[in-house]
Structure 1
Amino acid sequence: MKNAILKLIISTVLIIIFSYFLHIRVDNFVAAITTAVILSLLNTFIKPILVLLTIPVTFFTLGLFLLVINTIMVLLTDYFVDGFSVPSFITAFLFSIFLSIGQSISNKIFVD
Structure 2
Amino acid sequence: MRLIVEILLMGLAVFIGAHLVHGVRVDSYGSAIIAALLIALANATVGFILRIMTFPLNFLTLGLVSFIISVLMIMLVSHFMSSFHTNGFWPAAILAIVLALLKAIFSSIAGTERN
The count of corresponding residues between Structure 1 and Structure 2 is 111
Counterpart residue type for residue 57 of structure 2: V
Specify every segment of 5 or more residues in structure 2 that has no aligned partner in the other structure, as ranges: none
Residue 87 of structure 2: SS of its match in structure 1? coil
The answer to whether the 8 A contact 1:70-1:96 is kept is: yes
Aligned residue runs from structure 1 range 34-53, under 5 A: 34-53=34-53
Q: For residue 59 of structure 1, what is the aligned residue in structure 2? A: 59
Structure 1 segments of 4+ aligned residues over 6 angstroms from their partners: none
Residue 25 of structure 1: SS of its match in structure 2? strand
Q: What are the Cα deviations for residues 13-42 of structure 1, in whole angstroms up to 9, with x where unaligned?
A: 111111111131101222111101111111
Query: Under a length normalisation based on structure 2, what TM-score does the superposition of the two structures give?
Result: 0.89
Q: For residue 92 of structure 1, what is the aligned residue in structure 2? A: 92
Q: Comparing 24-33 with 66-75, which one deviates more in the overlay?
A: 24-33
Query: Under a length normalisation based on structure 1, what TM-score does the superposition of the two structures give?
Result: 0.91
Residue 16 of structure 1: SS of its match in structure 2? helix
Q: For residue 107 of structure 1, what is the aligned residue in structure 2? A: 107
Deviation at 1:53, TM superposition (A): 0.7
Q: Distance in 2 between matches of 1:62 and 1:42?
A: 22
